[in-house]
């Protein structure tokens, strides 16, 4: 019996589009569902060295829910590489300025840090509000319990 190894050509034309409404959804639950779909782990032909995931659109990113005191205590860090250049931003400040980045960073944190990460995250589209320009792809709606 031979082991099946998917080729990139087997996956290329079969990518689906999914849309997730983040309205009143807990951030962690949204991120795990989106990360699994982006990587393709829900498919039978999944392999860690092949990008076999689907495209994900997240709408209403500003309405995602953070549980507990995370709105005030969760911090996002950025560093330019120069000494003393560490910048911190709370989740509340991030929601006011760039609410889509909260969702992008949560999903990006669940993707392995390898050469495929940039390619996998290139299939993620996060929008503030309920409008998106991908209606031509006829995305399927995903519900998160």
Superfamily of domain covering 16-142: Ribosomal protein L13 (3.90.1180.10)
Q: Where do the domains of the chain lie?
A: 16-142
Residue (of 30, 53, 34, 29) closest to 116 by Cα position? 53
pTM higher than 0.85:
yes
pLDDT per position in the chain (145 positions), as tens? Answer: 888 888 888 888 789 999 999 999 999 999 999 999 999 999 988 899 999 999 999 999 999 999 999 999 999 999 999 999 999 999 999 999 999 999 999 999 999 999 999 999 999 999 999 999 999 999 999 999 8
């Amino acid at each position: 019996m031979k082991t099946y190894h998917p080729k990139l050509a087997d996956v290329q034309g079969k990518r689906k589009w999914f849309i997730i409404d983040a309205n009143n959804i807990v951030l962690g639950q949204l991120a795990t569902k989106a990360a699994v779909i982006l990587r393709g782990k829900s498919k039978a032909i999944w392999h860690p060295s092949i990008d076999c995931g689907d495209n994900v659109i997240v709408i209403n990113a500003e309405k995602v829910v953070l549980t507990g005191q995370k709105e005030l205590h969760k911090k996002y860090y950025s560093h330019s590489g120069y000494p003393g250049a560490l910048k911190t931003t709370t989740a509340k400040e991030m929601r006011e300025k760039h609410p889509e980045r909260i969702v992008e960073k949560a999903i990006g944190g669940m993707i392995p840090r390898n050469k495929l990460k940039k390619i996998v995250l290139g299939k993620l589209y996060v929008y503030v509000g309920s409008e998106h320009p991908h209606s031509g792809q006829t995305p399927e709606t995903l519900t998160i319990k």
